[in-house]
């Protein structure tokens, strides 16, 4: 039985996938690991490249894009490690990353989930831990009042430099390690989330079941933030809003869903109007403004029930 099962979900990210796996397999300090690639119907040859270059990696091919949560669950069910690591394809681990996470979790049996310190390509620290969304934070974001209420506006801990180990409400879904014993109690990812929001929901469920979520600076990896969502930004903008509505309905009932729907509608109405003006007022930024305008229009179309992501 491997110590760690690493689950990679891929959708047309071949340009990062090979480097991700190479970093995992190239770490001589790593514990015994198995790598399971779950491919969501890619058309860029990624699964073929992996089978050719890394025969030890188990490849599971889905015929279509099942989304992040469902694909990870498929990989988890096929895994056997004492710990399960969900890793984005645009991540490259530093030496000792998995070993240090295992040692940290072995030393504290209360922890169910741990996220390592993630770095940008230039070595600067990413902000990857956050709070659960609140009615106040949702409204502040919709009204673009972040400069007035910087800490309350965002679910991320921008006021903390992510330079110390601590317990946190949630860690970023780009990379985290889960104790199998805890996962067996809490359950798998909620497949009602297609993409976005599933890690917030999962971490909340771990805390509610008596397990703790930690951020550990003794383990590091690079996260290039250039995965699948960058290839279809409008689709994923809509998926983000769909996930937000699902989260509020799940945890706060029909009233929570109604409140979030109203505020998210306000958010995109204001953005749609502002970006309409921006298309005319800032011709030098027309390409950027056009993409943002289309994203706002798509989100409003989804909220009004006249458009659904494919």
Per-residue tens of pLDDT for the chain, all 310 residues: 899 999 999 998 888 999 999 999 999 999 999 999 999 999 888 899 999 999 999 999 998 999 999 999 999 999 999 999 999 999 999 999 999 999 999 999 999 999 999 999 999 999 999 999 999 999 998 998 887 877 665 677 777 889 999 999 999 999 999 999 999 999 999 999 998 899 999 999 999 999 999 999 999 999 998 655 556 778 888 999 999 999 999 999 999 999 999 999 999 999 999 888 888 777 778 787 788 888 889 999 999 987 676 5
> Do the beta carbons of residue 236 and residue 195 sit within 8 Å?
yes
Residue 58 lies in a domain: yes
238 in the same domain as 224:
no
244 and 107 in a common domain: no
Phi, psi (5° rounding) for residue 178? -125, 135
- Please name which of 55, 64, 56, 58 lies closest in space to residue 12, comparing C-alpha atoms: 64
What is the pTM assigned to this prediction?
0.91
Sign of the CA dihedral running 159, 164, 169, 175: positive
Q: Can you tell me the distance from the alpha carbon of 1 to that of 54, in angstroms, rounded to the nearest whole number?
A: 20
Say whether both 177 and 255 belong to one domain. Answer: no
Q: Please name every residue paired with 119 in a beta bridge, in sequence order, or none if there are none.
A: 125, 222
Q: Rounded to whole angstroms, what are the CA distances from 126 to 150, 161, 169?
A: 17, 9, 17
Q: Does 154 map to a domain? A: no
Does some domain include residue 282?
yes
In a domain, 155, yes or no: no
Whose tokens are 């990896």? That residue is 221
Which residue range(s) make up the domain with 49?
4-126+162-229
The answer to whether the Cα torsion of 290, 296, 300, 306 is positive or negative is positive
Question: Which of 229, 246, 267 delimits the end of a domain?
Answer: 229
């Amino acid at each position: 039985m491997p110590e760690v099962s690493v689950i990679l979900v891929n959708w047309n990210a071949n340009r990062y996938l090979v480097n991700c796996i190479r970093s995992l397999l190239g770490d001589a300090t790593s514990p015994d690991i198995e790598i399971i690639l779950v491919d969501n119907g890619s058309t860029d040859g990624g699964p073929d490249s992996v089978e050719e270059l890394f025969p030890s990696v188990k490849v599971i091919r889905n015929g279509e894009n099942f989304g992040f949560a469902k694909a990870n669950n498929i990989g988890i069910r096929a895994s056997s490690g004492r710990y399960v690591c969900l890793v984005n394809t645009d991540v490259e681990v530093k030496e000792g990353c998995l070993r240090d996470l295992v040692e940290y979790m072995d030393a504290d049996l209360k922890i169910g989930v741990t996220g390592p310190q993630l770095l940008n390509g230039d070595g600067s620290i990413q902000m990857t831990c956050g709070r659960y969304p609140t009615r106040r934070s949702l409204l502040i974001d919709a009204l673009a009042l972040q400069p007035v209420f910087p800490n309350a506006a965002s679910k991320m801990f921008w006021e903390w430099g992510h330079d110390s180990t601590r317990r946190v409400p949630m860690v970023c879904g780009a990379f985290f390690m889960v104790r199998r014993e805890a996962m067996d109690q809490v359950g798998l990812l909620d497949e009602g989330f297609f993409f976005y929001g599933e890690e917030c929901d999962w971490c909340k469920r771990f805390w509610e079941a008596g397990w703790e979520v930690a951020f550990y600076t003794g383990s590091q990896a690079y996260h290039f933030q250039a995965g699948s969502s960058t290839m279809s930004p409008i689709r994923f903008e809509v998926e983000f809003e769909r996930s937000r509505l699902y989260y509020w309905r799940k945890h706060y009932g029909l009233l929570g869903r109604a409140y979030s729907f109203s505020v998210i509608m306000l958010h995109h109405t204001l953005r749609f109007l502002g970006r309409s003006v921006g298309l005319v007022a800032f011709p030098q930024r027309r390409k950027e403004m056009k993409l943002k305008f289309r994203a706002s229009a798509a989100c409003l179309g989804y909220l009004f029930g006249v458009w659904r992501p494919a």
